[in-house]
Structure 1
Amino acid sequence: MNPVRALALAGSLLALAACTTVGPNYKPPDEAKLNAPTAQGAFLGAQSAAVRQDPVPAGWWKLYDDAVLNALVEEGLKANTDLRVAAANLARARAVAGEADDAGGFKVGASASAMHARESGEQFLLSEPLPVENLADAGVKVSYQVDLVGRLKRASEAAHADADASQAALDLARVSVAADVARAYVEACANGHELAVAQRTVDLQSRNLEVTRRLVGAGKGTAVDLTRAQALLDQSRAALPTFQSRRRAALYRLATLTGKPPAEFPKAVEACVTPPALKRPIPVGDGAALLKRRPDVRQAERTLAGATARIGVATAALYPSITLGAGAGSTGLLADIGQPAANRWGLTSLISWTLPGEGERSRIRQAEAGADAALARFDGVVLTALRETETSLDAYAHDLRRQAALKAARDQAALAEDQARRLYQAGRSPYLAGLDAQRTLAGAEAALAASDSQVAADQVNLFLALGGGWER
Structure 2
Amino acid sequence: MPLTFFQIFPAFPIHNINVVRLLRLNGPLIVVLSSLLNVGCSAVGPDYVAPQLTPPIQWNGDIGSQINSNPLDPEALNQWWTTLKDPLLTSLIDRAITGSLSLQDAEAKVREARARRGISDANRFPTVNASGSVTRNRVSENGFYKGTSYAGATSTIYNGGFDAGWEIDLFGRTQRQIEGAQANLEASEENYRDVLVTLLAEVALNYLEVCTQQSRLSVAQESRDSQANIVELVRSSVEVGETSRLDLEQALANLETTRSGIPLLEIALAQAKNRLAVLLGLPPGALNDELVEHHAIPLAPAQVAVGVPAEVLRRRPDIRRAERILAAATAKIGVATADLYPSFTLYGSVGLESLSSGDFLTSASRIFGIGPSLQWNLFDSGRIQNNIAISNTQQEQAFIAYRAAVLRALQDVENSIIAYGQEMVRRQALIDGEQSARRALTIAEDQYKAGETDFIRVLDSQRSLLNLQDQLASSDGQVTANVIRLFKALGGGWTPLEPELL
User: What is the SS of the residue equivalent to 1:301?
Assistant: helix
Asked if structure 1 preserves the Cα contact closer than 8 Å seen for 2:254 and 2:459, the reply is no
With over 3 angstroms needed to count, the CA separation of the structure-2 counterparts of 1:55 and 1:331, relative to structure 1, is same
Task: Return the match for 2:58 from 23, 42, 62.
Answer: 42
How far did 1:437 drift?
Answer: 3.9
Whether 1:345 and 2:362 are equivalent positions in the alignment is no
Out of 308-317 and 50-59, give the one that drifted further: 50-59
Deviation at 1:444, TM superposition (A): 2.2
Question: What does the per-residue CA deviation read over 1:249-287, in whole Å, with 9 as the maximum and x for residues that have no partner?
Answer: 111111111111113125232212421112322232221
Please name the residue that 1:392 is paired with: 416
Q: Matches of residues 32-431 of structure 1 in structure 2 within 5 Å?
A: 35-38=53-56, 41-45=57-61, 47-53=63-69, 54-55=71-72, 57-118=77-138, 128-129=149-150, 131-334=153-356, 335-357=358-380, 358-420=382-444, 427=450, 429-430=452-453
Write the letter of the residue equivalent to 1:383. L
Distance in 2 (alpha carbons) for counterparts of 1:106 and 1:12: 22
Quickly say closer, same or farther: Cα 1:281–1:447, change in 2 above 3 A. same
The answer to whether the Cα contact below 8 Å between 2:300 and 2:479 also exists between their aligned partners in 1 is: no
User: How large is the Cα RMSD of the aligned pairs?
Assistant: 2.8
Deviates most, 437-446 or 326-335: 437-446
Tell me how far apart the structure 2 counterparts of residues 227 and 428 of structure 1 sit (CA, whole Å): 19
2:180, 2:163 → 1: CA distance?
30
> Contact 1:392/1:462 (CA < 8 Å) preserved in 2?
yes
> Is contact 1:189–1:269 with CA below 8 Å preserved after alignment?
no
Matches of 2:40 and 2:292, distance apart in 1: 66
1:383 and 1:349 map into 2 onto residues whose CA distance is: 53
Post-superposition CA distance 1:110-160 (Å, at most 9, x none): 222223334799999x96318533321222222211111001111111112
3-state secondary structure, aligned to 2:291: helix
Instruction: Give ranges in structure 1 of 5+ residues lacking alignment.
Output: none
Code of the residue aligned with 1:103 in structure 2: it is N
SS in structure 1 opposite 2:393? helix
Count of aligned positions: 463
- Letter matched to residue 197 of structure 2: V
Contact 1:314–1:363 under 8 Å retained in 2 = yes
Structure 2 length-normalised TM = 0.85
Q: Given residue 59 of structure 2, which amino acid in structure 1 is its aligned partner?
A: F
- Gaps (5+ residues) in structure 2? 1-17
CA 298–129 in structure 1, closer or farther in 2 if over 3 Å, else same: same
Contact 1:208 1:435 in 2 (8 A): no
> In structure 1, how many angstroms separate the alpha carbons of the residues matched to 2:349 and 2:249?
103
Cα distance in 2 for residues equivalent to 1:284 and 1:46: 12
